[in-house]
Structures are given as C-alpha cells and as structure tokens.
Amino acid sequence: MAERIDLLIDARWVIPVEPSVALENHAVAVDRGRIVAILPSLEANRIYAAKSRYVLKDHVLIPGLINLHTHAAMALMRGMADDLPLMKWLSEHIWPAERLHLGREFVFDGTRLACAEMLKGGVTCFNDMYFFPDAAAKAVLDAGMRAALGMVVLDFATPYAADCDDYLSKGLEARDEYGGNPDLSFFFAPHAPYTVSDRSFSKIATYAGELDLSVHIHLNETRDEVKESLDRYGMSPVSRLSKLGLLGPNLIAVHMVHSESEEIALLASHGCHIAHCPASNLKLASGLAPVSGMVDAGINVGLGTDGAASNNRSDMFSEMRLAALLAKGMSGKAEAFPASFVLRMATLNGARALGLDDQIGSLLPGKLADMVAVDMSGSEISPVYDPLSHLVYCAGREHVTHVWVGGEIRVEEGKFVSLDEAALVAKAAFWKEKIAKRN
C-alpha cells in the first residue's frame, strides 16, 4: 500500500546542492513541511500517494535561494538617487528621505514589496538590516517566507531610535515578540564602523555573547571607510572589531571590498562569514571584492543583493552570474567559481552563515522543503547540456515558475498564491508620490 504524504514533485532534474549534481527524472517527496525522500520518479510514484502532485517535465528543482544581505524596505526607494557614490548617496539622499518618511507603515509596505520581488525570483529566505524589525517581521510572515532580521544600531538618532541603548532596547523587544516564530531569527546589526562607537560595539559584543546571537555589519566597503578608521583609530576597521571582541563564527561581514590579505586571514582564523554583494559594489563604485582570496583562505562566502535602492534589483540569479564572471575576470582563471560553487554560495553558504544549514540551503531528507522550480523549456535557454551550468549562466528569475516554503506553495506558474500584486504596486506608487513630493 502506498505511503500517504502531503506533496510529491516530479522534475526533469533535481539539484540538491548536497551533492552538487543534477539528478535526472527524480522526485522530491514532502510531508509536514519537510523532505521525506529524493528518488527516481518511477520509484517515487510507486511508493507514495500524495495529496498534491506536480509534474514538471521541463524544470530543474533547486533549494530556495538565500539572500545573505539586503535592506528590504528600501525597495520603496528603488532608483531614487542613482549614479552616486556611497557617502553622497547616503548623506544627501537616503538618510534625509528616511528622516522624513521612516516609520512602521513604510517598513511594512516596503518589506512586503521586497518579499514579493524575492519570492518571484526564487528567494525563500533573506538576511535583513533595517529599522522597525517588528514591522518587517509582520511583512515576512504575511508573505509566507523566512527572514533573519537585524536589530540595527547607530550612534545617531533616526525616527526609529534615539541612541545605542534605545536601538538595542527596541530591537530586543521585537525579538521577544517574534523570536518564537520558526520562520524568523534575529541578530545584532551595527550599521558600520564609521557610524558605531567603541562603546556601542562593546555593548553589542556583550549582548551577542550572552544571547548567542550573530552580528551582521557593513565592513571595508569603501576606501574612505578604511582611511577614516586608520586616521581616527590608528587601525583598520577589521583590526578594530578584532580588538573589541567582535570577530568570530557569529560575524557576517558584508562587502569586504577593500581587504588586505592579512585581514582576510584574520577573518578566516576566527571563522567569520562574508556576504558578497557584487552588483551593489559595482553600482556604487565601491570596487571589486577579492572574493577568490577569501574563498581560498577558507572563509564561508554567501551572496547578497544589498537593498533595491543601491542595486536596483533583489535578483539572486543576476548576482550568481555576476559573481562567477567577476571571479574569473579578476583571477584570470576560467575555472574560478564554477556554476556548482556559485549555486552553493546562493543557497547552502548563506544558510551556514545564518546558522540554518541544518534546516535549509540544500535538498536533503529531514530538511525544510524550501524549493524552487526553474523552467528550462524556452528557446532562449535551449538546448540544455548541463542544467546546473544553465542556472548560473543562462537562466534568470523570469524562468522561476514555482516556489515552495516549508512545502507550502507560494508562487505557482509564475503567479502569487496569496499576495495581491496589484495592491503591492499601488502601495509602491503611493509611497513614490509621497517621497517625491516631500523631497
């Protein structure tokens, strides 16, 4: 007698990431939100009787993508101040706009908009750094996806908080309210070394140690940031964080564009993780991160899009392709960052950085059924010699047809199952009008 399960997905190829192979004509069996088995389709259909079954004869099934660094609510500022360097972009446009408009409604609406974009592009989990994490949490749960939410800390006042203690207090309140939800996790998010004092960093280090929470920070993003640290503190930002006790396996360093070999070695020796954001680094003219050197040093590197205000897409497919091409061009080695490794960066490496690799990031029995189906049937993507290579070098987010989070369908045939896309577009138009008028 066939075993009853909730979901069975037959696909032309299944790429579990562990291992990084394409299993042809295989199926994934899911029950109670978790993967039960991955096996040949003929065998699966003999063994299992599923309440819901999908036959995807031209598709590749992969783990849900993990966006390791973004500012989700800033989707409402997409394209607002393009073609500017980082500090001019921040100080003359982004921070003034936030002073005028930042609030729970802004964060909720902006995060929902970003969730929709990411879900449609195969992202099932993201690592966020922004204000009002309680509002972001509501938006994530409303969208039916996963997120790690940052408890932001700055040493200047914003409409969200007045000072370091206020930022920490409000962040921890949000964690207390939503921390019990299995789809959410929380971490400390000091913005950057140039906006956070030693006193504040010391407090964060103490809290992070006591609560066993990760720290997510922009680091070595620009030459000016490194120079300012050397002039002010007599040491690089990385050395300063080391002195303050913040380096360790719970640290996610974002960007690391301007990194000396000894700094890379220091991060590697402490087991730190890096979020590589190639498109944002290029668009803001921050530079080219020496990612091959980081990987060679043994650092776990994941991929992030950064916020839509500086990218201007929350598109992990384009980040995968760009990361692979830049690594090859910078190293002079065509074999650098092969497709299998870049897909791992966008899935399992991100999960590992978030401490979630035992739950998501690959398709294995026992793991949560976060899955994405990518259609390989179109003329623009044919013929398919190697579906794994095609995912990185040929396919795009427009080829995503189905997305499941915990075995629940969120996107089906390219359409949202529960989100109202027209309402999201209307909200975006409302905020655009408001921001443009006030600015």
**Ranges of each domain in the chain:** 3-63+361-406, 65-353
Q: How many helices (H) and strands (E) does the chain have?
A: 17, 16
Residue keyed to tokens 């190829």: 13
**95-104, 108-117, 239-248, 316-325: the lowest-pLDDT one:** 95-104
Q: Which fold has domain 65-353?
A: TIM Barrel (3.20.20)
Query: Does position 87 have pLDDT exceeding 90, yes or no?
Result: no
The CATH code of domain 3-63+361-406 reads 2.30.40.10
Of 310, 323, 259, nearest to 77 by C-alpha is 310
Across 373-394, average pLDDT: 98
Query: Does position 438 have pLDDT exceeding 80, yes or no?
Result: no
Query: Does position 382 have pLDDT exceeding 90, yes or no?
Result: yes
Confidence band of 394 (pLDDT split at 50, 70, 90): very high
Q: List pLDDT tens digits, range 284-299.
A: 999 999 999 999 999 9
Q: How far apart are CA 135 and CA 104, in angstroms?
A: 6
Please report the pLDDT score of residue 52 as a whole number: 98
Q: How far apart are CA 182 and CA 368, in angstroms?
A: 11
Q: Is pTM, for the whole model, over 0.95?
A: yes
3-state secondary structure of 106: helix
Across 83-91, average pLDDT: 89
Of 351, 329, 363, nearest to 252 by C-alpha is 351
Please report the pLDDT score of residue 223 as a whole number: 95
And the tokens for 87? 């500090």
Q: List pLDDT tens digits, range 150-193.
A: 999 999 999 999 999 999 999 999 999 999 999 999 999 999 99
